[in-house]
Amino acid sequence: MTAAEDKPFQWPVRVYYEDTDAQGVVYYANYFRFMERARTEWLRSLAVDMVSLMANERR
């Protein structure tokens, strides 16, 4: 494991008004968008090439 892989990954997310419902609570479906963005940033921090990763998945 490299030092980057061993370190906990943190990626702050700013929640905008458009992400919430009328009561100001984050709409549940938006959590999936936040998680996908965090996953993408985590892989980027590990220098994973997303294009190659997706190409290998299609084989």
Q: What is the pLDDT of residues 1-59, one digit of tens each?
A: 666 678 899 999 999 999 999 999 999 999 999 999 999 999 999 999 888 888 887 76
Alpha carbons 16 and 1: distance in angstroms, whole number = 36
- Is 49 catalytic? The answer is no
Residues 6+ apart with CB under 8 A from 19: 26, 27, 30
pLDDT of residue 54: 83
Q: Where are the domains of the chain?
A: 19-59
Residues 6+ apart with CB under 8 A from 44: 50
pLDDT of residue 53: 83
pLDDT of residue 3: 67
Residue 13: alpha-carbon gap to chain centroid = 9
Alpha carbons 45 and 42: distance in angstroms, whole number = 5
pTM score over 0.75: no
